[in-house]
Amino acid sequence: MLRSRVIPCLLIHNKGLVKTVNFTNPKYVGDPINAVKIFNEKEVDEILILDIDATVNGMEPNYSLIEKLALECRMPLCYGGGINSVEQASKIIELGVEKVALSSAIIQNTLLISSIANTIGSQSVVAVIDVKKKTFGGYTVFTNNGKKKIDKDLVKLLNQIEECGAGEIVINSIDNDGVMKGYDLNLIKKVREAVSIPITTLGGAGSKEHIFELVNRFKIIGAAAGSLFVFKGIYKAVLINYFTQAEINKLDQNL
């Protein structure tokens, strides 16, 4: 039976695992390989790992780290950061990664999606779109860790991404990143109405109730979170955690 996926999102900065707030002030929270080992034990649905240094610094994907992560992962792995060619995407898939996450490169050239999808399959191509709310309504698209504003209409961009063959869209709220006050449900509704391919939402989950609320409203959806799965308690002590089987069963009942 199809059901919503609950997806930890790990950010890589200076080869370490970090967490940001509104895409700023990365806080070191541990070693990514160790985090993956713990998530293996917790039998997570899928894991999303994003290198937030690669694109902004004009670097190639860190193939050595990717290979180590892929060898360690016992769950589907989606990896993004610095991917701007068919060759890079293919190499990452060959290392054992199930999906590649693409952002800056495909927003500048949506046709790159078609080239990559034709090579590795649409099911392995994930488009990551980072957005901020506009002052008077609507959303603005950003790349390069929220530093570069893109003059493209969000809905038109989403339509282009779907038409070019992406298999999934991750919509990431910069405003809600690390704030832990809940997802931007209006943003998710806008994306859901614009495309028919699977969507995953990221940015804002601060409790498991936020994920239950998301699934109750949108049914089959990807619920990604960072802070929720690496912090515990009001003082945000670093503690890798995930849903229990009973909570997963409760999610299924919401469908």
Active site residues: 130
What is the spatial distance between Cα 206 and Cα 226, in angstroms, rounded to a whole number? 9
Cβ contacts of residue 169 below 8 Å, gap of 6+? 126, 127, 128, 129, 158, 161, 162, 191, 195, 197, 198, 199, 200
Cβ of 130: how many Cβ atoms within 10 Å? Answer: 26
* Max intra-chain CA distance, the chain: 47
What is the spatial distance between Cα 114 and Cα 47, in angstroms, rounded to a whole number? 24
Task: Say how many CA atoms lie within 13 Å of 122 toward its Cβ.
Answer: 13
Closest of 2, 33, 40 to residue 15, by C-alpha: 33
What is the spatial distance between Cα 196 and Cα 145, in angstroms, rounded to a whole number? 26
For residue 24, give the DSSP letter: E
b/e sequence 171-195, b meaning 16+ C-beta within 10 Å = bbbbbbbbebebbbeebbebbbebb
Dig out the tokens for 180 from the structure: 């832990």
CA distances from 54 to 15, 69, 78 (A): 11, 16, 16
